[in-house]
């Protein structure tokens, strides 16, 4: 029983795998019956989630049919991955019913087969008007939002990397950046005169006086901290006065009752100042216990004098607060100016450097995100428009026009029309596929194309200069091109110079046209030339 269950699940797994893989490969034909010698288009589509090596069949695979021509592999991105398509033009010169055998296609290292197709070859013309010959090609709007975002990221990966790098720098140095632009966060509070004096006293208490120079340095620091304290809190000329001048000033403050400094404190300060003068100028070397007592005395006197200092008034506190705010504001503005000047200076230098390398006009257009420059440098889309249609490369995929059709002919049916333009319509591209019951003579085809010029005038083109030339595609298909310069009417009082091109290809069942309209603006010539160079059509065998 257990073996039976294992065999069942194995068979189910193999069946599902085969079903899933078979969905990768699909073959379609335009009709199940043709005239003798008439071309029949056989198309193979391979749907894959990611790109793989694909080997399509050769001419021997279509026996008993003969292979007339084949197209290059066309790659289209879809919501589920990629669609690789290739079309074959085959025919038979014998009447009867035939079967196109299963066609083998190698995907990676595996072989897959299409379904066989039954084809009837007739001696008389077959009415194909009731048959669905052409499948509707999905428009660009059918792409998912995620797919469009992916294409945008691929074409702008340098900008994306720059943004990611900038974000990482901001995250890593966020504290320094915040502190730089907010001085309040990184300004250390100012020590009061008493706190600053005590800090210096603690440092001197740890100071070792091992040599004569150490003793001299000790007294220099001791007297300096005392003078700094007196200068800030009691006597504003303490730093610039001699010993006698300083003592005289303190006595005057006491006598005038401007500050209640004890006479005993003045005497002790005078004694220490005199001893310090002897050390500095007379090379007097006091014993260690004397210097330590002087340090202790200064510490006590500073404490006594601090207790006698009155509290600052509310007016003084407000004045100090306003001064602090003004200082912070001035510091912040100074730092912002530094950053702005740095950014502007760096930008100017980069612009000049890039201008010498790439040209100043190109650099300016790159900075200002010129749309036409972006179109010329982005990843272009190459696809087929019509079935069979025109292969062309364009900045974006053309959309199918269903309602607002243009360039119509009374005597011919417009099977499909596709359109592309930039935001201001300074470049427009139309691809049209026409069909007719009667065969068009090559000599009359040029006159048919001339009717397009009337439609161009309705679109606002005037002063048209017309030239006729032969047009040959990359795969040697022949056509006709009508081109020249023209003026484009922008509004009632404004016009712009430009040019136009009308390319036509005659087929046995109708004809195809490509209309390219472009204003005389930067980069549009480059875009137009690239579009025209990319045109390819399937060559039909002339009967």
In order, the DSSP letters of 301-340 are HHHHHHHHSPPPPHHHHHHHHHHHHHHHHHHHHHHHHHHH
CA distance 5 to 344: 75
CA distance 232 to 230: 6
Confidence of residue 142 (pLDDT cuts 50, 70, 90): low
**Which position has the higher pLDDT, 23 or 246?**
246
Give the number of other Cβ atoms within 10 Å of residue 97's Cβ.
11
* Overall pTM > 0.75: no
Give the number of other Cβ atoms within 10 Å of residue 439's Cβ.
11
Contact call for residues 532 and 503 (beta carbons, < 8 A): yes
> Please, is 517 exposed, middle or buried when counting C-beta atoms within 10 Å of its C-beta (0-12, 13-18, 19+)?
buried
> Which tokens hold the place of 361?
């006009």
Residue 519's pLDDT is 92
Cite the DSSP H helix spans in 206-242.
212-233
Confidence of residue 304 (pLDDT cuts 50, 70, 90): confident
Q: pLDDT at residue 516 above 90?
A: yes
Mean pLDDT of 502-520: 89
Question: Bridge partners of 89?
Answer: 41, 69
Q: pLDDT at residue 63 above 70?
A: yes
Q: Which homologous superfamily does the CATH classification assign to the domain defined by 379-537?
A: Mog1/PsbP, alpha/beta/alpha sandwich (3.40.1000.10)
Q: Is 176 helix (H, G, I), strand (E, B) or coil?
A: helix
Contact call for residues 519 and 499 (beta carbons, < 8 A): no
Mean pLDDT of 153-179: 78
> Please, is 302 exposed, middle or buried when counting C-beta atoms within 10 Å of its C-beta (0-12, 13-18, 19+)?
buried
Residue 155's pLDDT is 62
Instruction: Report phi then psi at 79, rounded to 5.
Output: -65, -30
Q: pLDDT at residue 19 above 60?
A: no
Instruction: Report phi then psi at 424, rounded to 5.
Output: -105, 15
Q: What share of the chain has pLDDT > 70, as a percent? A: 85
Q: What share of the chain has pLDDT > 90, as a percent? A: 7
Residue 378's pLDDT is 86
DSSP 30: S
Contact call for residues 499 and 518 (beta carbons, < 8 A): yes
Spatial CA neighbour of 46 closest among 80, 16, 2, 10: 80
Confidence of residue 163 (pLDDT cuts 50, 70, 90): confident
Spatial CA neighbour of 27 closest among 40, 11, 13: 40
Question: Tens digits of per-residue pLDDT, 231-286?
Answer: 888 888 888 888 888 888 888 888 888 888 888 888 888 998 998 888 888 888 88
Contact call for residues 47 and 15 (beta carbons, < 8 A): no
Which string of DSSP letters, residue by residue, matches 448-508? Answer: HHHHHHHHHHHTTEES---EEEEEE-TT--EEEEEEEEEEEE-SSS-EEEEEEEEEEEE-S
CA distance 2 to 248: 115
Question: Tens digits of per-residue pLDDT, 431-480?
Answer: 998 888 888 888 788 888 888 888 888 888 888 888 889 888 888 888 89
Mean pLDDT of 43-60: 81
Residue 429's pLDDT is 92
Confidence of residue 15 (pLDDT cuts 50, 70, 90): very low
CA–CA distances in Å: residue 31 to residues 75, 94, 532: 24, 17, 32
CATH topology of domain 2-128: Immunoglobulin-like (2.60.40)
Question: Tens digits of per-residue pLDDT, 368-390?
Answer: 888 888 888 888 888 888 877 78
Spatial CA neighbour of 83 closest among 160, 138, 130: 138
**Which position has the higher pLDDT, 139 or 325?**
325
CA distance 418 to 406: 10
Q: pLDDT at residue 12 above 70?
A: no
CA distance 421 to 531: 12
Domain residue extents for the chain: 2-128, 193-308, 314-367, 379-537
SS (H, E, C) 127-139: CCCCCCCCCCCCC
Confidence of residue 189 (pLDDT cuts 50, 70, 90): low
**Which position has the higher pLDDT, 482 or 38?**
482
């Amino acid at each position: 029983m257990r073996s039976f269950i294992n065999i069942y699940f194995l068979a189910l797994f193999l069946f599902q795998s085969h079903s899933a893989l078979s969905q990768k490969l699909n073959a379609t034909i335009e009709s199940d019956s043709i005239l003798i010698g008439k071309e029949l288009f056989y198309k193979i589509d391979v749907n894959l989630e990611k790109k793989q090596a694909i080997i399509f069949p050769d001419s021997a695979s279509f026996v008993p049919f003969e292979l007339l021509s084949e197209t290059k592999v066309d790659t289209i991105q879809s919501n589920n991955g990629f669609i690789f398509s290739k079309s074959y033009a085959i025919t038979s010169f014998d009447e009867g019913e035939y079967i196109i055998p299963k066609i083998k296609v190698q995907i990676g290292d595996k072989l897959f087969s299409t379904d066989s197709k039954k084809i009837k070859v007739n001696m008389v013309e077959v009415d194909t008007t009731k048959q669905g010959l052409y499948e509707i090609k999905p428009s660009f709007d059918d792409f998912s939002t995620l797919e469009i975002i992916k294409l945008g990221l691929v074409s702008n990966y340098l900008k994306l990397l720059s943004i990611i790098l900038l974000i990482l720098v901001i995250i890593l140095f966020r504290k320094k950046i915040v502190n730089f632009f907010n001085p309040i966060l990184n300004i250390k509070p100012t020590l009061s005169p008493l706190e600053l004096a005590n800090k210096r006293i603690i440092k001197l208490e740890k100071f070792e006086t091992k040599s004569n120079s150490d003793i001299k340095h000790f007294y220099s620091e001791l007297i300096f901290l005392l003078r700094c304290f007196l200068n800030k809190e009691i006597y504003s000329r303490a730093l610039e006065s001699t010993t006698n001048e300083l003592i005289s000033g303190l006595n005057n403050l006491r006598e005038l009752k401007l500050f209640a400094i004890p006479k005993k404190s003045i005497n002790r300060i005078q004694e220490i100042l005199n001893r310090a003068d002897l050390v500095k100028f007379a090379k007097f070397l006091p014993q260690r216990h004397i210097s330590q007592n002087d340090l202790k005395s200064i510490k006590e006197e500073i404490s006594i004098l601090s207790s006698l200092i009155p509290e600052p008034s509310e007016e003084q506190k407000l004045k100090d607060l306003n001064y602090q705010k003004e200082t912070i504001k001035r510091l912040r503005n100074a730092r912002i100016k530094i950053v702005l000047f740095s950014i502007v200076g760096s930008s100017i230098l980069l612009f000049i450097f890039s201008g010498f390398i790439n040209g100043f006009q190109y650099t300016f257009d790159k900075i200002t995100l010129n749309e036409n420059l972006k179109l010329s440098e982005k990843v272009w889309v190459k696809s087929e428009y019509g079935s069979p249609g025109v292969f062309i490369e364009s900045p974006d995929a053309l959309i199918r026009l269903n309602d607002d059709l243009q360039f119509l002919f009374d005597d011919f049916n417009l099977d499909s029309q596709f359109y592309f333009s930039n935001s201001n319509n300074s470049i427009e591209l139309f691809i049209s596929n026409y069909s007719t019951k009667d065969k068009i003579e090559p000599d009359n085809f040029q006159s048919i194309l001339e009717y397009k010029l009337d439609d161009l005038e309705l679109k606002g083109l005037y002063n048209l200069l017309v030239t006729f030339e032969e047009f040959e595609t990359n795969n040697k298909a022949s056509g006709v091109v009508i081109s020249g310069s023209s003026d484009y009417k922008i509004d009632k009082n404004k016009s712009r110079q430009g040019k136009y091109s009308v390319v036509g290809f005659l087929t046995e069942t109708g004809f195809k046209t490509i209309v390219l309209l472009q204003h005389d603006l930067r980069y549009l010539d480059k875009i137009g030339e690239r579009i025209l160079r990319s045109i390819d059509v399937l060559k039909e065998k002339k009967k």
